[in-house]
Amino acid sequence: MVQRFQQYIDGAFEDAKEHFDSIDPSTGEVWAHMPSASADDVDRAVQAAHRAFMDPAWANLNATARGKLLYRLADLVAQHAPRLAELETRDTGKLIRETRAQIGYVAEYYRYYAGIADKMQGAWLPVDKPDMEVTVRREPVGVVAAIVPWNSQLFLSAVKVGPALAAGCTIVLKASEDGPAPLLEFARLVHEAGFPKGVVNVVTGFGNECGRTLTSHPLVSKIAFTGGPETARHVVRNSADNLAAMSLELGGKSPVLVFDDADIESACNAVVAGIFAATGQSCVAGSRLVIQRGIHDAFVAKLVEKAEAIRIGDPQDMATEMGPLATRRQLEHIQKVLKDSVEAGARVATGGSQPSDKTRGYYFQPTIVDCPNTQVPSVTNELFGPVLSVVTFDTEAEAIAIANDTRYGLASGVFTTNLTRAHRLSRALRAGIVWVNTYRVVSPIVPFGGYGLSGLGREGGFDAAMEYTRTKSVWIRTSDEPIVDPFVMR
């Protein structure tokens, strides 16, 4: 039976005038109808968020009370994690065992920001003016437009919704048109938690009707966007209309450097997890393996063995180790880039095609591509799929140069038992995250973001919450003496 989802605007669930089909990536078949928000729907959502921002029911709610609402939301996310995980797996093809674990941890992000709500402090400034007291207040920026992609939606929305609400902002959350079901369901938890109407609104839709209307809306004060660089450029252009503050998290082409002194088994397992977990559809996927020449052959052989043992299948099956890609569009993109890479001299060590026993859905084999240089298309382009490109180095300096030879800079990994080398590389790598002898680990306490085309600003951690505030300087004259007439000569 095809399910039907609703959008959430001004505290009410409603149908949109138009709907679109959502495809189950494991079968290629329609499983749900999703609301396609019109420009009018988005305008109503922003207007509702603005009214809520000005309404004493939210504006006068003290920070501790906001924190308690976020704690309540965190408990509901944890309580309903199995349902949310089932929807995310159905709508995106992510493994059920991944979505259950991840969504359970998402609750910790809401708890973290709940605790921060009454700890965002201003300051007293010791100014150089006599008889003056100056304080700096931290106040919420206003209405936030939060836009997230289909992968890890509940996590990527938590690092926006959590700090925005902790700071006292209101929000319009746009779910991706690819797989929006879990966020539309999340709106029910917001409603149940008891947030005043209009504080959180959830919509989904396409192009100018939804995306442009939201990011260019004159009442939007901040845009928090996760997605690709090309879409981000549109968002930046749209923001010229409202001059909204902005944070952009745009993915990457993350290198994993493995030196010949590394714990080979540990490094190999981390590389496999870094690229084949979530079918490679992760912004921090370790898609470039930079391997020292002396261990190249043995290491790649071990990787091939592990990749070929991965169990591909139904993402709802707990025994499955890798599911389908989320969209046919992504499948076709990967096939094209791989074809171009082989023509450029790369060798496919394993994989490179759809599994012969998977005739339905958007499945693709775990793929390892041995590349002669860093200019091969699979090395330079973000594929967002289970494709690992391997390049070789001889010296530490060469490894650093290869790792930094990219327009992106979100994450990186280093595997070595040499402590001084680990410190040198953590300074030298141009990436917002450096994992040493581990990979793909996150925490609500730790900032997350990148360099270059990987975006600007940071999510996660205490400072991210401050990005949803702005300062107000308050000058108070403490003297009882009248102010001197400036036009009387003395």
Q: Which residues are catalytic?
A: 249
Q: 11 to each of 52, 189, 289, how far by Cα in Å?
A: 10, 12, 48
Q: Nearest CA to 418 among 399, 446, 440, 390?
A: 399
Per-residue HEC secondary structure of the chain comes to CCEECCEEECCEEECCCEEEEEEECCCCEEEEEEEECCHHHHHHHHHHHHHHHHCHHHHCCCHHHHHHHHHHHHHHHHHCHHHHHHHHHHHHCCCHHHHHHHHHHHHHHHHHHHHHHHHCCCEEECCCCCCEEEEEEEEECCEEEEECCCCCHHHHHHHHHHHHHHHCCEEEEEECCCCCHHHHHHHHHHHHHCCCCCCEEEEECCHHHHHHHHHCCCCEEEEEEECCHHHHHHHHHHHHHCCCEEEEECCCCCEEEECCCCCHHHHHHHHHHHHHHHHHCCCCCCCEEEEEHHHHHHHHHHHHHHHHCCCECCCCCCCCCECCCCCHHHHHHHHHHHHHHHHCCCEEEECCCCCCCCCCCCCCCCEEEECCCCCCHHHHCCCCCCEEEEEEECCHHHHHHHHHCCCCCCEEEEECCCHHHHHHHHHHCCCCEEEECCCCCCCCCCCECCCHHHEECCECHHHHHHCCEEEEEEEEECCCCCCCCCCCCC
Q: Nearest CA to 32 among 148, 182, 156?
A: 182
